[in-house]
Structure 1
Amino acid sequence: MAFEYLQESLNTRKQQALFRHRVCVQNGNARFIEIAGKTYLNFASNDYLGLADTQLDMQSAATGSTSSALVTGYQAIHRQFEARLCNLLGYQSALLFSTGFSANSSILKALFNDASSAKSCAIFQDKLNHASLIDGALQSSAKHIRFNHNDMGHLRARLEKSAAVNKLIISEGVFSMDGDSAPLEQLYNLKKQHDAWLMLDDAHAFGVLGKDGLGSCQLHQNKPDILVVTFGKAMASQGAAVLGSKTLIDYMLQYNRDYIYSTAMSPLMVNAASFQLERLLKAHDQRAQLRTNIVLFKQLCDAANIAVMPSNTSIQPVVLASAENVLQVQSKLQQSGIWLSAIRPPTVPANTARLRITITAAHQAQDIHNLVQQLEVQL
């Protein structure tokens, strides 16, 4: 019978404790979440600053853009928001995408879009980069080279060995599953030494790091050649932007198939993102509270001898090795009123299944004490 492998594959996933399913959230915010009529403390949200609880004036923008950006979908609200992002982040030009995944993957496919790229171009990626970056590289024509996580010696050796004319180094600002940060100064130095470009996916740093929450780049004088920021994490909205030189963005307008052939980002969502960006810039108290909460969590874990991966960001992973172990602990925590994510392969490497705990500015000290007490009981 045709397509019998579908059920066979699902059965295998279940046997390996890797089967994924969706959970319907009835209500939720950065502190609490309601599922199947029960309320839990929420330690699984990317709403790091607690900005998702807001009501917008939905009459202030049209719901649909009506077509792709290169037909009639590019409106004044898109141009104004792109200009605002460029001004804040120090870039010449920008493109808006409906998702960060599309932004990341399509940039790489477009940048290396012909067979000649295989000989003259190479992509150098951190092994822990997001799936969107890996997929984009695999679908491009460039040679795809991966270096060990945050290992600048390994990256240097890879660059020195390469004969490619056009080299692109790619990293995340804050890594989504480990919570640690990229060594940006070293990346900038290597890019300069090897006449390469640097692309940075700053999804989990934008809104959180920097004096005004402008992400990894606000912490450093130098800027990557290509910057991707997403609006669905700390900004608590939806969509993403790719920022770069005018030449880069003009090139994308010619060759980025995801952008060319997709309906432009909804003006309604652009309006929401614009509103949330201004809130994010003013969220100094929330960023300070977030830092306080992260420090408290790490101190309590240290006192309780709970091994947390080295991270100073909202993402605080506790590795439990096997998928079976992490699911068992997750279930026990849920019974105690705590909701958090069990991350398993292939999202993370084999034998590194983990509880991905996210701390937000909305959490109160008692919430964090409760979490650590329950972790101490269950681990």
Structure 2
Amino acid sequence: MAKSLSNTPQSTSLTTHARTQLESLQRAHNLRTITDYAHHEIYLQKPKSPNPQTTPESTPQSPLLLNLTSNDYLGLAGASHAILTHQNLNRPGNAAPDDSALTLAQRFWEFVRQKGIREQDLRFGSGSSRLLSGGSPVWEAFEAHLQTCFAQKSALLFNSGYHLNCSCLAALGRLESTLILIDEYAHASMFDGLLLGKSLNPALRWKRFKHNDIAHLSALLESSHKNFAHIIIVSEALFSMEGDLCDLAGLVALKRTYPNALLYLDEAHSLGVVGELGLCASMGYITEVDFLVLTFGKALGSVGACMLCARPLRELFVNLARGLIYSTALPPINIAFSYFAFTLLGELEPKREKIRALSQHTRAQLESITHKIRLPDNAEWQVLGDLQIISLVLGANERAIACERALESSGIFAKAIKSPTIPHGSARIRFCLHADLPNLAPLFDALESYANHL
């Protein structure tokens, strides 16, 4: 009989090293854990704490927490559950969903019929990679629709924004004589793509430019543009941690200055919020951005992502993007919902207006709180964010964790964001605002109370 791996000296040594690493993370107040929550529209509920003295039925329920971490900016994910029950509401045990969820479900199934999507094709599994047999007609239909919205570009769907950025930047990094210049605060998926690209092509060169610093980027372009056939500038449209918009006009101006420069823009947090189709479309720069990334897990309330680019580059990704080639395709029902949700964006301007107003009010209230408090170590809190992502920068990891716990005790769920996700010394509480939020006075009261007790 083979010896159990857990009893081998090698396994014992590896476990010891793992524990040492975890203890180091714990001392740095940076140990991650996973908790799964019950979702109740805009609220979360922690699972019941096991108690051997009581039955599950008699164990007290955890309190509801207002969820300020969700990227479901327009509330589409929160209402999508009714799609599964809408056609079976008369079955025993099926509670009728609320009006907004029911309306969304009715419209989804009407959309399916209008587009000629067969209900039997809306499976919960695809069975294989899209390059094998995992695709279905709804994939092509959605890509065709995206191409009509972003003229002169070809669309290619991916399983997630992470799959897309990691795979596509690695693929671009395999091209000869290519330099990639990336904003230092760009998403981790982009940097992972560059690291993968470097492992596949040691000749790849890439450099960071200071966050949103057009002057620094310009200097890098001026010193490098003669040495490379292609220079790809990489940025987020709305930065996921800082919450600020990129200087897209400045990026476009630099591209026009250097004929071998191309733009790669990730609209993960701006699609559906900054106008209907994101920052690039709202500013009229669709033709100027060579690689336009859309993700569907934020404002669309779904899952997946899309690359929009020239057709030859699309075919390059079909052949070199490892996250596409080697991943089982998303289930057709998810693609159908993303397609449906995308068609709703044009009618959701009232929700975008509410997000803008809520963001302005939240930032003003947080700045008012930071101006009133006096911290014992003379530290200063900073408020970041232009739109729906607002952060209160507290400094040390342990302070952000303490603030997170204080908010939770007041019924507010907002997570501490710590290094190395963001630079050391800039730990923060990150608030993601969405159109269905109620009055946020309890948040402001809780923050002021926390600050006054430091």
- Report the TM-score when normalising by structure 2: 0.78
Contact 2:388/2:432 (8 A) holds in 1: yes
> What residue is the counterpart of 2:423 in the other structure?
349
1:73 partnered with 2:134: yes
In the alignment, residue 66 of structure 2 is paired with which amino acid? L
1:128 partnered with 2:178: no
> What residue is the counterpart of 1:178 in the other structure?
242
1:91 shift after superposition: 4.2
Contact 1:308/1:316 (8 A) holds in 2: no
Q: After superposition, give the CA deviation of every residue in 1:171-222 in whole Å (9 maximum; x if it has no partner).
A: 0000000100000010011122122110001100011011xx2111122122
> What residue is the counterpart of 1:222 in the other structure?
285
Out of 151, 158, 178, the residue aligned to residue 220 of structure 2 is 158
> What residue is the counterpart of 1:236 in the other structure?
301
1:190 partnered with 2:251: no
> What residue is the counterpart of 2:43 in the other structure?
32
Contact 1:321/1:352 (8 A) holds in 2: yes
> What residue is the counterpart of 1:43 in the other structure?
68
1:18 partnered with 2:30: yes
* Deviates most, 49-58 or 122-131: 49-58
In the alignment, residue 28 of structure 2 is paired with which amino acid? Q
- Indicate the SS of the match to 2:390: strand
* Deviates most, 183-192 or 67-76: 67-76
- Indicate the SS of the match to 1:271: helix
Note the 1:265-344 alignment, pairs <5 A: 265-305=330-370, 307-344=381-418
| Distance in 2 separating the partners of 1:144 and 1:138 | 10
CA separation of 1:345/1:357 partners in 2, compared to 1, >3 Å: closer, same or farther? Answer: same
1:9 partnered with 2:21: yes
In the alignment, residue 72 of structure 2 is paired with which amino acid? D
| Distance in 1 separating the partners of 2:411 and 2:152 | 45
1:279 shift after superposition: 2.6
Contact 1:92/1:245 (8 A) holds in 2: yes
> What residue is the counterpart of 2:450 in the other structure?
378
Contact 1:40/1:338 (8 A) holds in 2: yes
Contact 1:333/1:374 (8 A) holds in 2: yes
| Distance in 2 separating the partners of 1:250 and 1:296 | 45
- Indicate the SS of the match to 1:270: helix
Note the 1:99-110 alignment, pairs <5 A: 99-110=160-171
Q: After superposition, give the CA deviation of every residue in 1:295-314 in whole Å (9 maximum; x if it has no partner).
A: 22123223333555342211
Out of 65, 87, 94, the residue aligned to residue 155 of structure 2 is 94
| Distance in 2 separating the partners of 1:111 and 1:181 | 25
> What residue is the counterpart of 1:137 in the other structure?
194
Q: Note the aligned Cα RMSD (angstroms).
A: 1.6
In the alignment, residue 176 of structure 1 is paired with which amino acid? S
- Indicate the SS of the match to 2:400: helix
- Indicate the SS of the match to 1:85: helix
| Distance in 2 separating the partners of 1:281 and 1:57 | 25
Report which of the two structures shows the higher radius of gyration computed on alpha carbons. Answer: 2
| Distance in 2 separating the partners of 1:339 and 1:254 | 42
Contact 1:56/1:272 (8 A) holds in 2: no
Instruction: Give 5+ residue unaligned stretches, structure 1.
Output: none
1:95 shift after superposition: 1.1
Instruction: Give 5+ residue unaligned stretches, structure 2.
Output: 1-11, 48-61, 86-118, 372-380
- Tell me the number of residue pairs that the alignment of Structure 1 and Structure 2 aligns: 370
Percent identical pairs in the alignment equals: 33
1:57 shift after superposition: 4.9
1:25 shift after superposition: 0.7
Contact 1:287/1:361 (8 A) holds in 2: yes
Higher RCO (C-alpha 8 Å, min separation 6): 1
1:336 shift after superposition: 0.9
1:51 shift after superposition: 1.6
In the alignment, residue 63 of structure 2 is paired with which amino acid? K
1:135 shift after superposition: 0.8
| Distance in 1 separating the partners of 2:421 and 2:370 | 26
| Distance in 2 separating the partners of 1:27 and 1:265 | 23
Out of 233, 239, 251, the residue aligned to residue 169 of structure 1 is 233
